[in-house]
Amino acid sequence: MNINSYDGQTVLVTGGAGAIGSRLVRALRDRGAAVVVLDDFSSGYDFNVPGDVQVIRGDVASPEAVREALTFDPSHVFHLAAFFANQNSVDHPHADLDTNGHGIITVLQESAEHDSVRRVVYSSSSCVYDENEELPYTESESVELTFNTPYEISKTLGEAYCNYFGGVTDLEIVRARIFNSYGPGEVPDKYRNVIPKFIYLAMQDEPLPITGSGEETRDFTFVSDVTSALCNIGLETGTTDEAINIATETETTIDELARQINSVVGNDGGVVYKPRRNWDHTNRRRGSIQNLHHLTGYEPSVPLKEGIKRTVDWFNANWKNIDTVTDNSFEEA
């Protein structure tokens, strides 16, 4: 596989101002692609987007906005725009369906009708797995049929639409199941992931709030590993019409995560335990990467401690922007 084979191609990234999307934009650009971003900036930020890419400000669920982005004739569409994530969807289920449900239908339908588009990579989630499945989760295992949050529903719905459009159109469609991505580009707020929240609080000498026992585990995957994998599966023909995990195959407890972040930042605030959220029933999460490794040679390259250091460095370098846009009223991890 030629890792530079985006040379001369145009690529559309929906959600390209977000945490993963903005880093994917950089990775694609480094591999020779001309990149177009479609984002409504509801949870993405201008300072995340490189200055030399084409930006369309619009709603991914709007056919008109998607058509405008497709006028640049991309060969690949990476669909990362999403209403993120579980607690946000519990609080705002209609908005979750509008963005995650209508968004994937619109992207797939408009892409299928645009001659230039060959492949769509859908950013799915590890939340589609049945929490009772044996670890590590493999792509052959069952997806969730008993749902805890609207986000789980809409992400699974997105995979179903990918299966449908893959069967009735000429699109090559890949479903990338991303496990607990973190790293530069993710601004903390009430609904974001645990790592940016912990770092933000640790940098202010606050205790880190753990919802649950702290023994719960997740498979934290650094964003550059995620974007490298996305770029590769965008090119690898053997991935067509498949679900592919992007993970590390490593479990980390939330207690250990908090300890490492406090250590890197130099925070003496410790932790504080809070009741577990009523929708969160997943005690452990770890994804198999054997399929991804077989197809693309993928190996995660950034261990957690190094990833935390890089993320803290990004916070330090971008503190003014981060502090300006962060709603620091969040209390839950």
DSSP string covering 30-59: HTT-EEEEEE--SS--GGGS-TTSEEEE--
Phi, psi angle pair for 241, to nearest 5°: 55, 35
Considering the domain architecture, whether residues 83 and 195 belong to the same structural domain is answered as: no
Considering the domain architecture, whether residues 138 and 273 belong to the same structural domain is answered as: no
Distance CA 302, CA 232 (A): 17
Establish if 291 belongs to a structural domain. no
Considering the domain architecture, whether residues 80 and 125 belong to the same structural domain is answered as: yes
- Please list, in sequence order, all residues whose beta carbon lies within 8 angstroms of the beta carbon of residue 279, skipping any fewer than 6 positions away: 86, 87, 90, 148, 149
The token pair at 124 is 């799915």
**Number of structural domains found in the chain:** 2
Neighbours of 165 (CB within 10 A): 21
Q: What is the mean pLDDT of residues 295-309?
A: 96
Look up the domain containing 238 and give its range: 10-180+222-246
Q: Tens of pLDDT along 27-43?
A: 999 999 999 999 999 99
Considering the domain architecture, whether residues 31 and 174 belong to the same structural domain is answered as: yes
The token pair at 205 is 């000498």
**What is residue 4's predicted lDDT score, i.e. its pLDDT?**
52
Considering the domain architecture, whether residues 39 and 65 belong to the same structural domain is answered as: yes
Considering the domain architecture, whether residues 82 and 173 belong to the same structural domain is answered as: yes
Q: What is the mean pLDDT of residues 270-285?
A: 92
> Which contacts of 7-10 are long-range, i.e. CB under 8 A and separated by 24 or more positions?
7/31, 7/32, 7/33, 8/32, 9/33, 9/34, 9/74, 9/75, 9/76, 10/34, 10/35, 10/36, 10/72, 10/73, 10/74, 10/75, 10/116
Q: What is the mean pLDDT of residues 75-103?
A: 95
Q: What is the mean pLDDT of residues 158-177?
A: 96
**What is residue 192's predicted lDDT score, i.e. its pLDDT?**
84
Q: pLDDT above 90 covers what percent of the chain?
A: 85
Considering the domain architecture, whether residues 65 and 211 belong to the same structural domain is answered as: no
Q: What is the mean pLDDT of residues 229-249?
A: 91
Considering the domain architecture, whether residues 242 and 310 belong to the same structural domain is answered as: no
CATH code for position 202: 3.90.25.10
Domain boundary among 230, 246, 262: 246
Is the predicted pLDDT of residue 190 greater than 90, yes or no?
A: no
Establish if 128 belongs to a structural domain. yes
Considering the domain architecture, whether residues 158 and 140 belong to the same structural domain is answered as: yes
Establish if 125 belongs to a structural domain. yes
Establish if 192 belongs to a structural domain. yes
**What is residue 68's predicted lDDT score, i.e. its pLDDT?**
98
Decide if 76 contacts 12 (C-beta within 8 A): yes
Q: Tens of pLDDT along 93-145?
A: 999 999 999 999 999 999 999 999 999 999 999 999 988 888 999 998 878 77
Binning pLDDT at 50, 70 and 90, where does residue 253 land? very high
| Position with higher pLDDT, 299 vs 281 | 299
Return the closest-CA partner of residue 1 out of 287, 303, 292, 244. 292
Establish if 81 belongs to a structural domain. yes
Considering the domain architecture, whether residues 163 and 213 belong to the same structural domain is answered as: no
Establish if 75 belongs to a structural domain. yes
User: Lowest-confidence range among 81-85, 132-136, 250-254?
Assistant: 132-136
Considering the domain architecture, whether residues 105 and 213 belong to the same structural domain is answered as: no
Average per-residue pLDDT for the chain: 93
Binning pLDDT at 50, 70 and 90, where does residue 330 land? low
